[in-house]
Amino acid sequence: MDRIPILKLRDLLLVTIQVDMHDRLAMQLQDELTARISETGARGVLIDISSLDIVDSFIGRMIANTAAMARVLDAETVLVGMQPAVAITLVELGLTLPGVRTALNVEKGMALLESATGQAEDLPDTDAGHTE
């Protein structure tokens, strides 16, 4: 049986979807991700779909549901690497993934998650508390 690996890096979970997922595999990934967030106390989930050449309504729904479940479990989700042709098609299909944060690539997605989950401690602290 196919399985999509979920990697843990500090308190983030990373998933790279590299296969053309059938519906059961997509549902399995959603369930496993939700379980791993709960087990590990992860604060962020990064889903890399740069290898996916289509996202249809089912996969789109899986991504949106995963993000919603993660939020309920106190974790942020960022979807990264969507191909332009996929983005064009998804919007025309009528799926705009409200509530799902996106970034162009893994690096930007990681930065977004780190700032969203308060992991930016190694950055120089610039006048915390001071307001202009």
Residues interacting with another protein, by CB under 8 A? 20-25, 53-58, 60-61, 83-86, 88-90, 92-95
CB of 86 to another protein, least distance (A): 6
Residue 10 gets the label, from left (phi > 0), alpha (psi -120 to 50) or beta, of: left
Which C-beta is closer to another protein: that of 14 or that of 26? 26
Which C-beta is closer to another protein: that of 85 or that of 120? 85
Which C-beta is closer to another protein: that of 8 or that of 22? 22
Which C-beta is closer to another protein: that of 32 or that of 56? 56
Q: How far apart are CA 82 and CA 55, in angstroms?
A: 9
Q: How far apart are CA 19 and CA 91, in angstroms?
A: 22
Q: How far apart are CA 69 and CA 125, in angstroms?
A: 32
DSSP string, 91-115: HHHT---TT-EEESSHHHHHHHHHH
